[in-house]
Amino acid sequence: MVENRCPHRDAPLDFASLSNGNIRCPLHKMEFALDDGHGIGLAVYTVGFTVFTVKIVDEVVRVDL
């Protein structure tokens, strides 16, 4: 799970797209890896995402903050 804010210019990611394990920001189209949040392509020059680990334990969704 990632925060709903692009690390480039804080655009909301409600309408972001997914491609090959990356999330693409809808505003300037920069891509970030979903596994660790690092930037891809031009996005390597900006700060990456904070990635939160999500687990389902006994039908309860747990997010490590």
Structural tokens at position 40: 């891809």
Alpha-carbon distances, residue 42 vs 3, 47, 53 (angstroms): 20, 11, 26
Least gap, CB of 24 to ligand FES (angstroms) = 8
Closest CB to ligand FES among residues 27, 40 = 27
- Interface mask toward ligand FES for 22-61; x: CB under 6 A: ---x-xx-x-------------------------------
CB distance 51 to 1 below 8 Å: yes
Q: Which residue, 25 or 33, has its beta carbon nearer to ligand FES?
A: 25
